[in-house]
Chains A and B, each alone.
Chain A
Amino acid sequence: MVRYLRLIAVWAAPLLFVAVLFYWPLTRILALGFQAGANSVELGHSTIAAVWFTVWQAALSTVICLLLGIPGAYILYRRRFRGRNFLRVLITLPLVLPTIVIAIAFVAFQKLNDVYSIFGIDQNSNPVFWIIAAHVFINYSLSVRSIGGVWATLDPELEEAAELAGAGRFRTLIAISLPQLRSAIVSSAALTFLFCATSYGVILILGGGLVHSLETEIASAAVQYLDLGKAALLAMFQTGLTIAALGLSTRIGRRAVSLEQIDESTRLPRLSRRDWAAIAITAPTIFGLIAIPLLSVFVRAFQSPTGWNLDNFTLLATRGERELLNVTVLEAAGNSLRNLAISTTLAVIIGSAVSFLLSRNIRNRGHQFATWLLDLAFLLPMGISSVVLAFGYLITFNGQPFALRTSWLAVPLIQSLMATPLVIRMLYPALESISPEQREAAATAGASAAQTWWFIELGIIRHVFVTAIGFAAIASIGEYGAASLLTFGNQATLPTVLFQLISRPGSTNFGMAMAIAAILILLTYVVVTLVAVRRPRPAWLASR
């Protein structure tokens, strides 16, 4: 009995967090929608088509991400070569770019497309092609890094033994590695699916507003027509989609193999000619799909009407302040970093607390279901339309009892709410895959639960932990929706400033916007690299 009370006490804080910041405003806006007559909304062909498009494009994008991501994880986390750490960070950078910048960066591809069209292959006419390409561009790192993070901690002995026994790389992958990675693969697939299913800007901009998904339908119902009934009903569909995605992933991912984990400092084999297949997939993906658009942003940042120079950056320091913007770029960067620090800290604390609690051994079915529900409760914020949530915030946190909307803290709080599911989806499967013997051995040796967690489990999942912090940081620094809705006065962030500039004509505004995009990329690069810096393990930890 006491144990249950203690359990409830520990769950209380994270649950309170998600209840206040998510379920309360969501309930209020949905209630308003159903009052407005969600049950009488007629769903025509267009809505069914939008639901279908949402599902298939997200599923296809996810499959492509996995097919490209597994070899990528192998190369970047299972092999050793010069520049590996740089590439690990590079692939995460697309996540930070505002959609309009992605559209501009993709122009580089569309020019390539002119070359293809000479040979009769013209993809340009079909916007869905570009939407899926953009989804892969953005989400590739999710599969690579969350699968790779677990892969790096696996003992290579089993794989090596299989190869010695004459199995080829491919057979070893299918028979040995993939089953061990199942839980990480399924988890990253669920994340990618949800990201693509709720994708808004990419579908809107690359689809010219003519391609409709659940999210764009919700936005147009809410923002254009103030049809809260329809928006609420569609938001329920989204919730259903999230439940289905989690249900499916739990089903496939269950009975994850407990892994024999090793310290990842063990020297990995060098990249060799025998890895050609994985290289043949990964090199074109990283250089062709990811590096080219990123590079084109830098090219434009250093281009001004007078040639190649730093004009755009100097203009940011001077004219940007006087003309359009209420804050200097330095202040905006400061705000961005402050939000990042708060939201990442919160998301990592809450996310790891929840993952820890979820991963404790489950003995019976009732428990199992309760755990599943709790898991779902923390995942739902990712699957719901941000427009709906934003409207919920407007009506909930406006007056009494607390006017969260007018506080600058609102932005990092919402960002942490969005990043928490990301952290959980990475840490929870990693924790689950730790073999219970390792925990029990530590306990037998006299370690308390806290010591076991801190010294043993965190040590083992360190790679995944670092990745989770990195993604939480990226989710904050590139975030635009909450920041644009809630920022007032001098609370602008880098993405909101970028948007201010790019919504005006003229080469100076465009150049300054590209300079900000370049700063955003560089800042993200620095933050993610700093997070990943390997700290030497303390001697007492290494000696375990």
Chain B
Amino acid sequence: MHKSYIPKFAYKLAAAIAVVGLSTAALTGCASATDSSTPSASPLPELTLVTHDSFSMSKEQLAQFKTQTGITVNIVKAGDAGALTNKLVLTKDTPIGDAFFGIDNTFSGVALQNKIVSGRLTAIDYGDVCMNYDKAWFKAKGISAPTSIDQLVEPTYKNLTVVENPSTSSTGLAFLAATVAKYGNDGWQDYWTKLKANGVKVTAGWEDAYYTDFSGSTGKGKYPVVLSYASSPAYEIRKDGTSGTASILDGCFRQVEYAGVLAGAKNPVGAQLLIKFLLSDAFQRGIPESMYVYPIVKSTELPADWSKWATVATAPLGAGLDINANRESWLTAWSDIFG
């Protein structure tokens, strides 16, 4: 053979990669070096808030919090409520943040059981998971729009409903819980069996149900009834100033979203201040427009469209359920019906 097959430039390449690697280590090393101070009575100048993907805090609100407390907030998004909870459980020994937002009442049991929360859970907002329907569709067909989820298993409403899969969507899980609460431990499976026989369509997530299957959204699908939120009609205002959709206010599950200080947080004092801020009017007022749910503080002023079109459920369901203990058996039973 000729000389070595390894050309000189390969060493340079190796050196270049090593430099990239080391500088990465150095950069991130700096980041972790600041983390190692001990918690004290006065808050550290920085904190990390771990949230679900739908969380939103405007630049103005972040700036306001900084002016009030001197603390810069880093936001880390960790998936939906379920993924968020499980990631926090997985990392509870070296927490990935100081505070969290977005664990809801379907997952709060997991959080408490695994002791990831220091202190208590603080409710920040709530939303009602309700069926929505396309007003124009029912008007055009001359069928009266459903007023109860009971009707969705009737022949009049055959092949009209699309719901989210409870094993892959938190919205779907909320509705499953609502049916358990409404029809009882013995009746809910019967309801779903009838719903399936009546041609219900199942999607993986809210986005595909709402935007590809629901006829009342911009996606203009084929199904005039969709599992969504009581607030959604406020975002379907048509040219005439009225909403194109409405909610079936029966069979709604009330999702409550919590914030809290993470056990083992490096900046627990700052985290506490942030939770206080989340309850302040400055944040609560923005909740409807930024996260499409209702502020927990009742006196908060709602946007005009909301008071008109985003009616809350009259008798929301689910408050008495032990979701944490039953989730797995419900999902197994549900999958047996739809598997």
Residues of A within 8 A of B (CB): 3, 6-7, 9-10, 12-14, 16-17, 20, 46, 100, 103-104, 107, 204-205, 207-210, 220, 222-226, 228, 300, 305, 322-326, 346, 349-350, 353, 356-357, 360-361, 391, 394-395, 397-407, 409, 413, 440, 443, 448-450, 453-454, 484-485, 487-489, 496, 499-500, 502-511
Contact = CB atoms under 8 A, between A and B. Distances in A.
B16 interface: yes
B165 A210 contact: yes
23 contacts: A10-B10, A13-B18, A17-B17, A100-B208, A204-B205, A209-B205, A210-B202, A210-B338, A223-B82, A353-B10, A395-B91, A406-B28, A406-B48, A407-B27, A454-B9, A484-B77, A488-B74, A500-B53, A502-B207, A502-B211, A506-B218, A507-B217, A510-B218
A542 to B, nearest CB: 22
Contacts of B225: none
Contacts of B212: 103-104, 107
A100 B83 CA distance: 19
Contacts of A104: 208, 211-212, 219
A3 B292 CA distance: 65
Contacts of B28: 397, 402-404, 406-407, 409
Given A6-B4, A413-B24, 14 more contacts: A10-B10, A10-B13, A16-B17, A209-B204, A346-B17, A357-B10, A394-B96, A402-B24, A404-B24, A453-B7, A484-B79, A505-B232, A507-B217, A507-B218
B5 A361 contact: yes
B25 interface: yes
Given A222-B86, A326-B75, A510 B217 contact: yes
Contacts of B292: 504-505
Contacts of A228: 90
Nearest to B226: A505
Contact of A403 (B13, B18, B35, B239): B35
A158 B212 CA distance: 51
A223 B5 contact: no
Contacts of B59: 326
Interface of B: 1-11, 13-18, 20-21, 24-25, 27-29, 31-32, 35, 48, 53-54, 56-59, 74-79, 82-83, 86-87, 89-91, 94, 96, 110, 164-165, 167-169, 201-208, 210-212, 217-219, 221, 228-229, 231-232, 235-236, 238-239, 289-290, 292, 328, 331, 338-339
B202 A17 contact: no
A209 to B, nearest CB: 3
- Nearest 5 CB-CB pairings of A with B: A506-B235, A209-B165, A450-B7, A209-B168, A449-B7
Given A210-B202, A509-B235, A14 B17 contact: yes
A454 B12 CA distance: 14
Given A324-B56, A489-B75, A349 B228 contact: no
Nearest to B328: A225
A115 to B, nearest CB: 14
A395 B90 contact: yes
B7 A209 contact: no
A440 B2 CA distance: 9
A interface secondary structure, majority = helix
Contacts of B56: 323-326, 500
B29 A485 contact: no
Given A224-B167, A409-B28, A499-B53, A360 B5 contact: yes
Nearest to A391: B90
A199 B251 CA distance: 35
Contacts of B82: 223-224
B71 to A, nearest CB: 13
Nearest to B216: A505
A12 B14 contact: yes
A222 B90 CA distance: 10
B177 to A, nearest CB: 15
B97 to A, nearest CB: 9
Question: Among B76, B236, B328, which residue has the most Cβ atoms of chain A within 10 A?
Answer: B76
B236 A506 contact: yes
Contacts of A3: 4, 6
Contacts of A326: 56-59, 75
Contacts of B289: 323
Nearest to B237: A506
A512 to B, nearest CB: 11
Contacts of A305: 238-239
Nearest to B110: A226
Contact of B202 (A208, A402, A407, A485): A208
A510 B204 contact: no
A363 B13 CA distance: 25
A225 B330 CA distance: 13
Contact of A103 (B168, B208, B228, B232): B208
Contact of A353 (B13, B27, B54, B231): B13
B282 to A, nearest CB: 15
Contacts of A409: 24, 27-28
Given A9-B14, A10-B6, A394-B96, A209 B27 contact: no
A449 B5 contact: yes
B323 to A, nearest CB: 13
B325 to A, nearest CB: 14
A214 to B, nearest CB: 16
